[in-house]
Amino acid sequence: MASNDLAKQLSRFLSIYLPHERNVSPNTVSAYRDAFISLLLYLRDEKHIKAEKASLADINRDNIIGYLQWLIDKQGCSIATRNNRLAAVRSFVSYLQYDSVEHMEQWQRVLAIKGLKKEHTIPSHFTKEGVKHLLEQPDTTDPRELRHLAMLALMYDTGCRVQELADLTIESLRIQCKPYSIKIYGKGRKTRIVPLSEPVFDILTKYISCYHIDTDIGKKYPLFCNSSRNKLTRAGITYILKKYAVLARMSNPNLIPETTSCHQLRHSRAMHLLQSGVNLVWIRDLLGHSSIQTTEIYARADSKQKREAIEKASENLTPSDVIGEWVDNSDLISWLKGLGKK
């Protein structure tokens, strides 16, 4: 294989195949791009293969397995990140099956690599009191902090992802009449209409008035932008959240988690809706999940929390003379016969 064949194929994969033949979103292309940057760094640092010298021969099973382990062991990545990186590699190799068929055995060996199973942990989230305390931190007499409040309140109220918030435009708003709502562009170019609560509508109205945003013109402009009129980045939005999380933790550390992220607001909204009795299918539609199975993690988490609370509050009312565990010097058969009897 030629030394520059990887660069050529990767360029075609990211710039032509994904956006034009697969019609994937720019966010997906960016995620795949980041995965291959990371892979090339692994080849450079661990295999001493410079990016400009890397070839398709280097995209082999041993290297990919080593790369995936490197992500966890040396980069501190989660299993989810590891699996996402593998998905990017698998997509590229699937593309190569048709464009570089002479190396089919090599591609099949890479495609045979499996993702790791993830533990279904309780999603980290704020309590209702924690969200309320967080949203009390911005000083609404300051236009900039009013904008920050509008962003955080909208992110919680709609349960949108941080990139979905960044991608909102003025035309996304549907606030001319009730019921108020907003159009969100989600993963895979899917859109959903999400209702807005009255309090968040009021905050958005104040923000629009303060910044003199004309909702009838310039509809393609970002709803939230920086001083250059460009949309905010995910890192910028995360920075804003962490700023107020620090302030909120200083005044009441019990309400704010030590580690905070924008996705916690999304988790929090889902958990609070579930605890209020909202149907899981409606929560799925609000969050833009493609499958109800993804949303069920909140139901499992809520059930676990309820069980732990009940166990903690329960008294031990069972008789103290119930039969005990079998010990080595007991007659096992006699113990088994007596199991469950008074």
Residue 176 has pLDDT above 80, yes or no: yes
| pLDDT-derived band at 26, boundaries 50, 70, 90 | confident
Contact 182, 193 (CB under 8 A): yes
Q: Mind listing the pLDDT tens digit for each residue in 217-229?
A: 668 889 998 888 8
Strands 181-185 and 191-195: antiparallel
Residue 233 has pLDDT above 50, yes or no: yes
- pLDDT of amino acid 216: 74
Contact 221, 170 (CB under 8 A): yes
Mean pLDDT of 146-166: 94
Q: Mind listing the pLDDT tens digit for each residue in 99-154?
A: 888 899 999 999 999 999 876 555 678 999 999 999 999 999 999 999 999 999 99
Q: Mind listing the pLDDT tens digit for each residue in 278-322?
A: 888 888 888 887 776 666 666 666 555 555 544 454 444 545 454
Whole-number Å distance between alpha carbons of 314 and 95: 57
Report the DSSP beta bridge partners of residue 169.
222
Residue 325 has pLDDT above 80, yes or no: no
* Reported pTM: 0.66
38-52, 64-78, 141-155, 179-193 — which is least confidently predicted?
179-193
- The structural domains of the chain, with segments of one domain joined by +, span 5-111, 128-309
- Of the ranges 209-223, 240-254, 303-317, which is most confident? 240-254
Report the DSSP beta bridge partners of residue 183.
193
Q: What are the CA-CA distances from residue 181 to residues 10, 167, 196, 272, 283 (Å)? A: 40, 16, 5, 19, 15
Q: What helix, strand, coil percent values describe the chain, rounded to 5?
A: 60, 5, 35
Report the DSSP beta bridge partners of residue 173.
182
CATH architecture of 5-111: Orthogonal Bundle (1.10)
- The CATH number fitting domain 128-309, selected from 3.40.50.450, 3.40.228.10, 3.30.70.890, 1.10.443.10: 1.10.443.10
Residue 238 has pLDDT above 60, yes or no: yes
3 state SS for 289-302: CCCHHHHHHHHHHH
Residue 43 has pLDDT above 50, yes or no: yes
- pLDDT of amino acid 314: 45
From 114, 123, 116, 44, select the one nearest 81 (Cα to Cα). Answer: 116
- pLDDT of amino acid 72: 93
Residue 337 has pLDDT above 80, yes or no: no
Q: Which long-range contacts (CB under 8 A, 24 or more apart) does 115-123 make?
A: 115/82, 115/83, 115/86, 115/87, 116/79, 116/82, 116/83, 117/79, 118/79, 118/80, 118/83, 120/297, 120/300, 122/301, 122/304, 122/305, 123/264, 123/267, 123/270, 123/271, 123/297, 123/298, 123/301
